[in-house]
Structure 1
């Protein structure tokens, strides 16, 4: 049986390979995906296509080598927390960024129904300016 932590782990593994289809494989059609205020993709996006277009496509377009390095997953049952570090170079400035991050995932019925990001947006902003 696939657990919620397995589903989130599979998302991160697909992300590391740059495979957007696999990243979104277990994402609910009604997912509410929130990138925090102050982050380049700030807002709440509803549905996998909105997430792909407004988060992953934007990061891929604006950053060189943008990636999330997972350090640990915390199993909270229907909520899973991913802790790690963002890395990348902002294309327009050539400045590198490294910022710690926490992702809170909400799952229901084997699907990701919610995501919320917490990161140091000042470090991201400094790379962008």
Structure 2
């Protein structure tokens, strides 16, 4: 079994449970996490503290019923691809959104080296306006 694939599979299972600590298990102090330009939390964050503060904490504060629904997980050995859908309701506007998304995970020995998100940022941003 590929430890890289298993680590990301476990990350998504923890996400479904809203277990941030377990989600961060494969993240290291050097993990580079990039949210796509145009996304409300766009930028690159290094390490779990920055990722939690810059992405997950803000999502929790600003969105209701925010979720990522995994549709497909592709084992590329050192590169794992997660394909799914974001959904949620932006609290300030009460607008809902649904957007397809691809996550690219570059891995080494079950740990995340780089993460990059690709999504239709306009669908997400429109809900915030």
TM-score range, shorter-chain basis? over 0.9
Aligned partners of 1:57 and 1:81: how far apart in 2? 24
* Misfit runs of 4+, over 3 Å: none
Q: Which residue number corresponds to residue 98 of structure 1?
A: 98
Q: Which residue number corresponds to residue 53 of structure 2?
A: 53
- What is the number of residues matched between the two proteins? 129
Q: Which residue number corresponds to residue 28 of structure 1?
A: 28
Measured after TM superposition, the shift of residue 109 of structure 1 is: 2.0
For residue 55 of structure 1, give the secondary structure of its aligned residue in structure 2: helix
Aligned-residue RMSD, C-alpha: 0.9
Aligned partners of 2:56 and 2:77: how far apart in 1? 26
Q: TM-score, structure 2 length as denominator?
A: 0.97
Q: Which residue number corresponds to residue 7 of structure 2?
A: 7
Measured after TM superposition, the shift of residue 84 of structure 1 is: 0.1
Aligned partners of 2:38 and 2:73: how far apart in 1? 25
Unaligned runs of 5+ in 1: none
For residue 122 of structure 1, give the secondary structure of its aligned residue in structure 2: helix
Is the 8 Å Cα contact of residues 73 and 81 (structure 2) preserved in structure 1?
yes
